[in-house]
Structure 1
Amino acid sequence: MLIVSAGEVRQILSDQEDNVLDAVRRAYVLHAQGRTVLPHSVFLRFPEDARNRIIGLPAYLGDDTPVAGMKWISSFPGNLDRGLARASAAIVVNSMADGHPVALVEGSTISARRTAASAALAARALAPPAGGVSLIGCGVINFEVLRFLRAALPGLAEVTVFDLDAGRAAAFARRCARWDLKVSVAGGLEEALGAHPLVCLATTAGVPHLGLARCRPGALVLHLSLRDIFPADILAAVNVVDDADHVCRAATSLHLAEQETGNRDFIAADIGEILGGGGWRHDPERVTVYSPFGLGVLDLAVAELVRRTAQRDGIGIWLPDFLTIAPEDLDAD
């Protein structure tokens, strides 16, 4: 068993945006080709505690060297008020040769970067290149989105940020200043929605709270947090998803839209088919909304990239006897 810590994951993935984008793109294409197994995520919730949750995402990725595994990720939004990260995660990678777990990889960095890579791939595939982006929600996810948008959209030059916590928005803007970008803080949500033709929503919202009327015609909205947009605005938009069965559940905006209409006819396309060359025609008048549920195969693809690199470069802690069973214990049951 190879154990790879958070610092080691960040070391391995440093300046590897192109490789992460390639891994995520390939996972999406394999999923569209039916070469994955992706059971529904398991949501562990707690009595009298609707805000916090832990989610299990099992997955199988049928690449040239197939692999299976599971991400176990917690979301405790109250951590932010205590100066802690909202999300923490671990990913177990299993060999398909014998089923043995071969790696335990810290997963919060992988989760954030695969989410960001998904958003950046959609931004590159679904709309004309944007010179600016509005980031709504000033946390880890949108910071990583900006990192990957810079890799996917070299012409990106402007960023407008907004958060309900003005102090957090200001601190986020200062962090963005490390890159050669023009950064501004919006005075309100509607200003942020209309500032650029590319908008990314990465909030902790549990129920819909915004419409899209202030977005520019033909804007692309990366709806990463999944529960921000009113169902009526989802129904009026051009909708692209990563997996309709996964995204239309757990009270997402698309799930609510499906409940209103009784169908999924409002979903126009699947991102894996588009990335695989299936063709896409951007509507310059209507808002396009990309709603990725966040598939476990993406975590698995990036975790496997980390595992292979760590094994090659001697990074991490190797426990050769993790699965060793003493002969006298074989008949213990």
Structure 2
Amino acid sequence: MLIIGHRDVRRVLDGAEDAVLAAVRHAYLRHSAGDTALPHSVFLRFPDNPHDRIIGLPGYLGGGEGRRPVAGLKWIASFPGNVPEGMPRASATMILNSLLTGRPLAVLESATISARRTAASAALAAAALPGVPRDTGVSLVGCGVINAETLHFLRLTVPGLSEVTVFDLDRERAEAFAARCARRYGAALTVRVVDRVESALVAHRLVSVATTAAVPHLDLAPCRPGTLVLHLSLRDIRIPTVLAADNVVDDPDHVCRAATSLHLAEQRVGHREFIRTTVGALLRDPHPAPRAAERLTVFSPFGLGVLDLAVADLVLTGAHRAGLGVPVPDFLPDPEAEDLPSIP
């Protein structure tokens, strides 16, 4: 078995954005074709601390197109209280298993994998739901890791993106985010920090929302008609706004649970007819139609475990090729080497 830590995961994925986009696209297409097994995620919550949670995402992703099938489990913790202490909100581990023996092949640090598959998902949705005229700017609501990665991937799938408006409840955090963007992208991006979320929502017709909100709070009325909102944190948008929007998801059964905005909307009206389509269906179309010009389009991805599997397998392949990771040959018992009790 191979243990692949954070630095080695980064060594494989840094500069491999096109490969990550291709892996996530493959996962969506296989899921749309029914070539996945994806049980509902398991949420571990704590009676005395409703803000923290650990989520288990098991799954199987079929192969094809030169890719091998993959099975495994992501175990991801979300502890928002880490952020004021200078630590990332999320930490994650992934186990990949052999489909021949069931034995574990690798254990990977997966916070980076999780962030980049989320960003790739958002970027693919933005490409599949183009604006007319084309988007040249994006507003980022929430200045954490997810929106940093989302901006990076959007620059690959939305040609001409040159303006960024950022908002965070913590003004200092937003300023630090903008400074990092300036260092990373230089003159290629103009970054502006605003003090009100309404100013961010109206600034551009492409908006990415990635916060730690636990209950819906965001009214999208300031958004201009034809805006695409990448609703990555899933619990921000108020129910009437969801019901009035053109809704695209990754999987209706997965996104309509765990008190997401869409789950609460379903509970209110008793159906899911407000969901128009899935991103997998959109990606099958070689000529994507522009998004609705007179209403909001909201993309709400639950974050399917098969996306993590696709990117984790990309990391495992790259680690083997580059000789990265720490082999643990004696992690599992070896029946031939063990002193087994005799059978009478």
Paired with 2:101 and 2:70, the residues of 1 have a C-alpha distance of 11
CA contact (8 A) 2:139 2:207 kept: yes
1:8 aligns with 2:11: no
Deviations 1:15-63 (A, max 9, x none): 1111100000010000000000000000000111000000000010011
CA contact (8 A) 2:130 2:289 kept: no
Corresponding residue number in structure 1 for 2:41: 41
Cα distance change, pair 329–233 in 1 and its aligned pair in 2 (3 A): farther
Paired with 1:241 and 1:300, the residues of 2 have a C-alpha distance of 19
1:265 aligns with 2:273: yes
Corresponding residue number in structure 2 for 1:78: 81
Of residues 313, 316, 329 in structure 1, which corresponds to 2:322? 313
Paired with 1:195 and 1:331, the residues of 2 have a C-alpha distance of 75
1:152 aligns with 2:163: no
Number of residue equivalences: 332
Corresponding residue number in structure 1 for 2:105: 102
| Correspondences of 1:209-220 after superposition (within 5 Å) | 209-220=217-228
Q: Which amino acid aligns with 2:273?
A: D
Q: Percent of counterpart pairs with the same letter?
A: 61
1:190 aligns with 2:198: yes
Runs of 5+ unmatched residues, structure 2: none
1:132 aligns with 2:137: yes
TM-score (norm 2): 0.94
Of residues 293, 301, 304 in structure 2, which corresponds to 1:292? 301
Segment drifting more, 92-101 vs 19-28: 92-101
Segment drifting more, 221-230 vs 311-320: 311-320
Paired with 1:309 and 1:331, the residues of 2 have a C-alpha distance of 43
Paired with 2:168 and 2:290, the residues of 1 have a C-alpha distance of 32
Q: Which amino acid aligns with 1:102?
A: L
Corresponding residue number in structure 1 for 2:249: 241
Of residues 278, 293, 302 in structure 1, which corresponds to 2:311? 302
Q: Which amino acid aligns with 2:319?
A: A
TM-score (norm 1): 0.97
Of residues 230, 233, 249 in structure 2, which corresponds to 1:225? 233
Deviations 1:295-321 (A, max 9, x none): 000000000000001011101111122
Paired with 2:129 and 2:219, the residues of 1 have a C-alpha distance of 20
Paired with 1:83 and 1:329, the residues of 2 have a C-alpha distance of 49
CA contact (8 A) 2:82 2:89 kept: yes
Paired with 2:219 and 2:81, the residues of 1 have a C-alpha distance of 26
